[in-house]
Chain A
Amino acid sequence: MGTENDLTVRDRFQALLGRDDAHLWLFGIGAVVLAVLPFALSTFWTRIALGALMWIGLAQSWNMIGGYAGYLDFGHGAYFGVGAFVTGIVMVELELPFVAGLLIAGVFCAVLAYVVGVPTLRLSGAYFAIATWAFAEAIKELALILEITGGTYGMTFPTGPGTSGIPLVGWPDEMFFYYLMMVLTLGTIALAYFLFEHSEFGFRVKAIRDHEDAAQSLGIDATKIKRRVYVISCVIAALFGGANAYYITFIHPNDVLAPIITDQMIIMALLGGLGTIGGPIIGGVLIFLLNRLSSLFLGNTTIYLPLIGLLIMVTVLFAPSGVIGILRGEVGREDVKQNLRELAEKFDIL
Chain B
Amino acid sequence: MSETLLQTDGLTKRFGALTANDEITLGVDRGEIRGLIGPNGSGKTTFFNSLTGFYTPDEGTVTFDGTDITGWESHRIAREGVGRTFQIAAPFGNMTVRQNMLAVQTPKSVDEHERAQEILEFLDIDHIADDDASGMSGGQKKLLGLGRVLMLDPECILLDEPTAGVNPALADRILEHLRELNDRGTTFMIIEHDMDVLKQIVDTVSVLDQGRHIVQGTFEEVSTDDRVREAYLGSADDDEVPV
CB distance from A223 to the nearest CB of B (A): 8
Contact code string A192-203 (vs B, CB < 8 Å = 1, else 0): 000000001001
- Check if A206 sits within 8 Å of B75, measured CB to CB: no
- Check if B105 sits within 8 Å of A213, measured CB to CB: no
A216 to B86, CA, bound (A): 12
- Check if A217 sits within 8 Å of B102, measured CB to CB: no
Interface size on B, residues (CB 8 A): 29
How many residue pairs, one in A and one in B, have C-beta atoms under 8 Å apart? 75
Contact code string A265-280 (vs B, CB < 8 Å = 1, else 0): 0000000000100000
For residues 22 through 75 of chain B, which have their beta carbon under 8 Å from a beta carbon of chain A?
A: 52-54, 73-75
| Nearest-CB residue, chain A, relative to B80 | A219
Q: Which residues of A contact B54 (CB under 8 A)?
A: 213, 216-217
A107 to B102, CA, bound (A): 31
Contact code string A213-243 (vs B, CB < 8 Å = 1, else 0): 1111111111000000000000000000000
For the complex, is A140 an interface residue (Cβ under 8 Å from B)?
A: no
A217 to B150, CA, bound (A): 12
CB distance from A327 to the nearest CB of B (A): 15
Q: Which residues of B contact A222 (CB under 8 A)?
A: 75
Q: Is the interface of B mostly helix, strand, loop or mixed?
A: loop
- Check if A213 sits within 8 Å of B86, measured CB to CB: yes
For the complex, is A261 an interface residue (Cβ under 8 Å from B)?
A: no
Interface size on A, residues (CB 8 A): 18
Contact of B102 (CB < 8 Å), options: A200, A211, A213, A219:
A200
For the complex, is A204 an interface residue (Cβ under 8 Å from B)?
A: yes
A203 to B148, CA, bound (A): 13
| Nearest-CB residue, chain A, relative to B149 | A218
A207 to B105, CA, bound (A): 11
- Check if A203 sits within 8 Å of B78, measured CB to CB: no
| Nearest-CB residue, chain A, relative to B91 | A210
CB distance from B26 to the nearest CB of A (A): 20
CB distance from B143 to the nearest CB of A (A): 15
| Nearest-CB residue, chain A, relative to B106 | A219
- By Cβ-Cβ distance, the 10 closest A-B pairs, closest first, are A219-B105, A203-B103, A216-B74, A219-B78, A207-B103, A207-B92, A218-B104, A210-B92, A219-B79, A221-B75
Interface residues of A (CB under 8 A from B): 200, 203-204, 206-207, 210-211, 213-222, 275
Identify 6 new A-B residue pairs, CB closer than 8 A, beyond the known A216-B75, A218-B149: A203-B102, A206-B93, A207-B95, A210-B93, A217-B86, A221-B105
